[in-house]
Amino acid sequence: MKKLLLSIVLLLVAAVLGGVGYLFLRKPAMAEPSRVKVEATPERLARGKYVFESLADCGGCHSERDLSKFGGPVVPSGLGKGWVIPPELGLPGQINASNITTDPETGIGRWTDGEKIRAIREGVDKDGRALFPMMPYQFYSHMSDEDVYAVVAYLNSLPPIKNYVARSNVDFPVNLLMVSAPKPVAGPVAQPDTNNPERYGEYLVYLGGCLDCHTLMEKGDYRQDMLYAGGREFRLGKFQVNSANITPDPETGIGAWTEERFIKQFRDYNRFAAGSELPTATQANFTIMPWLNWCNRPEAELKAIFAYLRTLKPIRNPVNKHPEV
């Protein structure tokens, strides 16, 4: 009897150790990177610059930023050099956005185009490691083939900047759980139909990662009853901002807004993008919304985004965007 009990205990211990070992050693779901070699046409470079700097705001995380000014503008000389994400944002560990310039030692100069595409849309790096999902590959998986080629062409054009950025150090158990986040893209992704405002707007909202900032999180996932209803808190240094409710709720969201008012909300920042001196960051104006990139978006894009947001479920959620701290 004692031998039987000992055998059962040993089997249970082995099963537990095997399960723990699996969690620590397992790899993310991944496909082999494609062997595509992206051709850098003038049209692709222009589109890639637009997607990188505005539509997907890749530079917002992967570049040096001047956080003393409104909107934390990207420092031009630090475009793509990587960024150590401030710990005040409350992320699980020290999360760093890597150097994505063409430097072969500290950047992605030795990555193939296929490896870059896989990282952008599937969340797996050159060495097969899962990227921390602050990199919004779950949204970029919707990025069309042509748009991701354009981004890669633009990345390949960035001048090399030698700037070592340490790998992210993600806290337990998130470091184990995030391995489940990457998913291979199931096939070709077509360009969105720009003649269908709601579907085109959905594409733009996905690439802009609007859901991520404008939805409350619970246990590392989006609250399904609060999608796009705002209220997510962001802290940086002594400042705090809470994201706005962008559902069509007429009282606490944008349900009473006209299309003209929605567009004006972005256009009001044109004076800064045109070169006017940026004001100093204060609690009253602190924002992580990339207004400086979005204010010059084509009117057709803003109209499409508004059309899509109007299709969302209205959710009542009053938000004090700039609380006293």
pLDDT in tens, 217-256: 987 789 999 999 999 999 888 899 999 999 999 999 999 9
Same domain, 87 and 175: yes
- Reading the block at residue 252, the tokens are 């606490």
Residue range 207-220: average pLDDT? 92
Structure tokens at 69: 């000014």
151 burial via Cβ count (<10 Å: 0-12, 13-18, 19+): buried
Asked if residue 1 belongs to a domain, the reply is: no
Task: Give burial (CB, 10 Å; 0-12/13-18/19+) of 37.
Answer: exposed
- 301 within 8 A of 202, measured Cβ to Cβ: no
Q: Does any domain span residue 4?
A: no
One domain for residues 53 and 165:
yes
**Conformation bin of residue 93: beta by default, left when phi > 0, alpha when psi is -120 to 50:** left
Note whether residue 167 is domain-resident.
yes
82, 134: one domain:
yes
Let me know whether 212 and 295 are in one domain: yes
CB-neighbour burial class of residue 304 (10 A; exposed 0-12, middle 13-18, buried 19+): buried
13-17, 118-122, 161-165, 318-322: segment of lowest average pLDDT: 13-17
Query: Do both 165 and 252 map to the same domain?
Result: no
What are the tokens at 275? 């070169």
Do 213 and 165 share a structural domain?
no
Is 61 in the same domain as 140?
yes
Q: Are residues 171 and 235 located together in one domain of the fold?
A: no
Say yes or no to pLDDT of 8 above 50: no
Residues 6+ apart with CB under 8 A from 78: 63, 64, 65, 161
Q: Which of 136, 152, 180 is the last residue of a domain?
A: 180
Residue 182, CB half-sphere, CA atoms under 13 Å: how many? 24
Q: What is the pLDDT of residue 310?
A: 98
**Residues 204 and 130 occupy one common structural domain:** no
Is 60 exceeded by the pLDDT of residue 18? no
Which amino acid, 164? Y
Output DSSP code: residue 124. B
- Whether residue 241 lies inside any domain: the answer is yes
* Per-residue model confidence (pLDDT) at position 280: 87
- pTM, to two decimals: 0.89
What is the number of helices (H) and of strands (E) in the chain? 13, 8
Q: Count the Cβ atoms, other than its own, within 10 Å of residue 98.
A: 24
How many whole angstroms separate alpha carbon 142 and alpha carbon 97?
Answer: 21
What span, in angstroms and rounded, lies between the C-alpha atoms of 177 and 79?
A: 31
Q: Does residue 268 form part of some domain?
A: yes
Residue 78 resides in a domain: yes
Calculate the CA 119 to chain-centre distance: 12
pLDDT at 14: 38
**What pLDDT was estimated at residue 264?**
96
**What is the Cβ-side half-sphere exposure of residue 112, based on CA atoms within 13 angstroms?**
11
Indicate whether 172 and 213 sit together in one domain. no
Provide, rounded to the nearest whole percent, the portion of the chain with pLDDT above 70. 91
Query: Is residue 233 within 8 Å of 252, Cβ to Cβ?
Result: no
pLDDT of residue 276: 63
Q: Which of residues 4 and 303 earns the better pLDDT score?
A: 303
* Contacts for 160 with CB less than 8 Å, ≥ 6 apart: 101, 102, 103, 104, 107, 109
Domains: count for the chain: 2
**Are 63 and 164 found together in one domain?**
yes
Q: What domain range is 58 assigned to? A: 42-180
pLDDT average, residue stretch 114-136: 96
| Residue 155 is assigned to a structural domain of this protein | yes
Q: What are phi and psi of 140, to 5 degrees?
A: -70, -15
Q: Please check whether residue 320 lies inside any domain of the structure.
A: no
The answer on 298 and 250 residing in a single domain is yes
Nearest alpha-carbon partner for 121 in 183, 67, 200, 172: 183
